[in-house]
Structure 1
């Protein structure tokens, strides 16, 4: 029997006034209660109880030890209660990551609303156009755009976005519009590394993958930089559909090569904990999932394509 259990037995004997009553309270046999007390007295080197045929009472050493036992047991009970509350109540610091533009446009407003609803949760929001590693970087929740493999991270499917190719009207007027992806070899291109390999863009033709080698005029690692360059007429760029929506609406960019768009790209919300998740993670998942699934920018493929949650890569 461990030390805490022996302390619990000792306190129960004193509080209930005897071995039999203590055994009934703890669900132990009288012999087990007796063995626990003997073990405790042997380990402490002190007689803790004075026993007679009519009564059991603590000795002077037992009285002093009894107070210490109560403090220890109360501390353990408080710690377990606090841990239980931590699992139920949203508290602590929630660290999340998302791509820059996606985070600014769609995640940040939800994070702000979440922070207002749950004042005991502090937020560490990282908006960055690179893949964060949840376990290694201490990230609780991450938005991931792209296909996923298998690992110990879990995914909540949110929807899909499309990979589109854009150019400014001024660029197209000056250089002409490409009618086939292979014609990009004769055009200035702006490669956004958060979406494509710098020297190869991917298209689709008659249901088959069509990679095209290019010689980029400019390579950038942030979507806003690619959008600005394309809008200013530097060249043609590839972006996710949601990224260029304002510029398309303002007619600063135009989609090109639309007949060769590759398949839709899944968007997932990743988290490490599945069962017994902390209150902050569970509350955040519940708070943002439906809102993001209902976002029109993530409905580029049939909702029936949403698969059940599963293990995915920690890329």
Structure 2
């Protein structure tokens, strides 16, 4: 007798074969139910009887019945089927809706201004999904942090993650109309040397602002009057007339349209930042995560 009785896939096939035969008391009909031949079904039951250490059926040429051990095992299996059915019903979202909880890691200001409305729209469409949103500019290890989806700006270094490009963030210099009213002229990036400038300490290029226009290049080393690690605080300083600062289009476009900010040097371009969605390999097999990835990628690409 085999002392091990782990519920391996093979063992579960044997138990299903036994349960079908026990309910029908007919190997041929039971074989049709489980999708195998009668001889295969018979071998599975024989292997199960060897593992159990007891006969499960009494068989003659004209009659078939369960033994006491067979009746006991059938009762146990039926209890297990009930528990599995209840578990499946509990895991399945109502009416086929998506469900589950997802942890999403987002850049601080880009996340608040650009991503938060997209997450809200997704949750209105899929009310069964719960989202834990973390707004933070620091790098996060997705395994130890138990993060399902991360949004990152700029070029990627982590090759162990799956990445999907989802649009671009454009950066441009801005100032308030009040500041420009008394400021020196600004026709070329080199003129920034004569201006009060605000820098973002999280900007990878630091105080070196590199502009391009067709084949022309201008790299200007800024001497900041204010350095800050928060993009929203930089926006507020620009609006208050402190000086010229770089702003992402996700935050500045609306203010420029309202006339509260002015886009400067519009014919010159700063390097753009690619936007990527990242997840662990295989994680997108979860329906809710796959739907969120598609939703965000579509919305960010069409902007």
Q: TM above 0.5, one fold?
A: yes
Compare 175-184 and 114-123 and name the one that shifted more: 175-184
Equivalent in the alignment of 2:39:
31
Instruction: Determine which of 155, 159, 165 is the counterpart of 2:173.
Output: 165
Equivalent in the alignment of 1:193:
201
Say which SS state the counterpart of residue 258 (structure 1) adopts. Answer: coil
Q: Residue 60 in 1 paired to residue 71 in 2? A: no
User: Pairwise mapping of residues 171-250 of structure 1 onto structure 2 (< 5 A)?
Assistant: 171-207=179-215, 210-250=218-258
Q: Residue 153 in 1 paired to residue 148 in 2? A: no
Instruction: Determine which of 13, 30, 50 is the counterpart of 2:21.
Output: 13
Say which SS state the counterpart of residue 236 (structure 2) adopts. Answer: helix
Paired positions, count: 293
Distance 1:265 1:113 in 2: 24
CA-atom RMSD, angstroms? 3.3
Q: Is 2:200–2:234's contact at 8 Å kept on the other side of the alignment?
A: yes
Query: Displacement of 1:202 after TM fit?
Result: 2.3
**Post-superposition CA distance 1:262-299 (Å, at most 9, x none):** 354433444556796323223334545544444xxx3x
Q: Is 2:55–2:69's contact at 8 Å kept on the other side of the alignment?
A: yes
Distance 1:211 1:132 in 2: 32
Distance 1:156 1:15 in 2: 54
Q: Is 2:97–2:126's contact at 8 Å kept on the other side of the alignment?
A: no
Q: Is 1:209–1:262's contact at 8 Å kept on the other side of the alignment?
A: no
Unmatched 5+ stretches in structure 1: 299-315
Q: Residue 103 in 1 paired to residue 111 in 2? A: yes
Query: Displacement of 1:64 after TM fit?
Result: 1.2
**Which of the pair has the greater relative contact order for Cα pairs under 8 Å at 6+ separation?**
1
Structure 1 residues 265, 207: closer, same or farther in 2, change over 3 A? farther
**Post-superposition CA distance 1:165-219 (Å, at most 9, x none):** 1223444444413433344344432111344433322221443554433333322
- TM-score, L = length of structure 2: 0.79
Query: Displacement of 1:91 after TM fit?
Result: 0.4
Q: Is 2:114–2:250's contact at 8 Å kept on the other side of the alignment?
A: no
Q: Residue 51 in 1 paired to residue 87 in 2? A: no
Distance 1:217 1:239 in 2: 16
Distance 1:280 1:116 in 2: 13
Distance 1:50 1:151 in 2: 57
Distance 1:237 1:211 in 2: 16
Query: Displacement of 1:48 after TM fit?
Result: 1.9
Say which SS state the counterpart of residue 2 (structure 1) adopts. Answer: helix
